[in-house]
Amino acid sequence: MISEEVNPIDLFNTWFDEASKTEDNDPNAVAVATSTPDGKPSLRMVLLKSVDDNGFVFYTNLGSRKAQQLSDNAHVAMCFHWKSLRRQVRIEGTVEPVTEQEADAYFDSRPRMSQIGAWASKQSTLLKGRFELEARIAKYTARFNIGKVKRPDFWSGFRVVPHEIEFWQDETFRLHDRLVYTRHEDNWTTKRLYP
């Protein structure tokens, strides 16, 4: 049974550490759901880059569909599914932008070609053909041939500040264990749900 005595961020980190040992690819992959101002949903996978008591952080092109939707409607949902462990974590909350310093630090840690790719990609816009992308990669590879690749102004991150976190553990006969943490200012309360 999932313990109610643990801070939900600590519990998430424990589960994430276990998933990092058992998931073959991208244990930090998370589905992020956004919506338009009129409620039309959109869902995609992103990679979690950090988590702490303030929230869950991912990065993107600020011109992307998800970034545009998040600027119009800050409510977001996330879902981690670690099939090897038969576990799931659902998070609901609101987003806030990361600081310029956080975005710079993470961008600086990326491989050089990923940095150039951030400049080259007009994420979520129409691509006429693969050659167009390759030409843009060549352009920015030449531009940043020597020295540091500066983070583009149109590339940054979002922090999902959780209001609710649900931990789900598969159990026999579909009698799953579900524990929900709900935030009230700086405190968390818990409740169990039927499977």
Full 3-state SS string of 162-175: EEEEEEEECCHHHC
Q: Which residue has the tokens 């818990």?
A: 190
Q: How confident is the model at residue 3 (pLDDT cuts 50, 70, 90)?
A: confident
Is 174 an active-site residue?
yes
List, for residues 170-194, the tens digit of each pLDDT value: 998 988 999 999 999 889 999 999 9
Where do the domains of the chain lie, and which CATH numbers do they carry? 8-101+153-193 (2.30.110.10)
Q: Assess whether pLDDT exceeds 90 at residue 169.
A: yes
Q: Assess whether pLDDT exceeds 90 at residue 16.
A: yes
Find how far residue 46's CA is from the centre of its chain.
Answer: 5
pLDDT, residue 6, reads 82
For residue 28, give Cα distances in angstroms to 17, 88, 122, 151: 10, 12, 24, 23
How far apart are the two ends of the chain, measured CA to CA in Å? 13
The residue-averaged pLDDT of 27-31 equals: 98
Q: Assess whether pLDDT exceeds 90 at residue 139.
A: yes
List, for residues 46-91, the tens digit of each pLDDT value: 999 999 999 999 999 999 999 999 999 999 999 999 999 999 999 9
Q: Which residue has the tokens 């524990």?
A: 179
Q: How confident is the model at residue 5 (pLDDT cuts 50, 70, 90)?
A: confident
To the nearest whole percent, how much of the chain has pLDDT over 90?
92
Q: Please name which of 3, 29, 6, 139 lies closest in space to residue 81, comparing C-alpha atoms.
A: 29
Residue 172: CB atoms within 10 Å? 6
d(CA 192, CA 167): 10
* Mean pLDDT of the residues in the chain: 96
- Measured at the CA of 130, the angle between CA 127 and CA 116, to 5 degrees, comes to 85
For residue 8, report the phi and psi dihedrals to the nearest 5 degrees: -65, -30
- 174, 178, 183, 192: the catalytic one is 174
For residue 11, report the phi and psi dihedrals to the nearest 5 degrees: -65, -45
DSSP string, 36-94: -TT--EEEEEEE--EEETTEEEEEEETTSHHHHHHHH--EEEEEEEETTTTEEEEEEEE
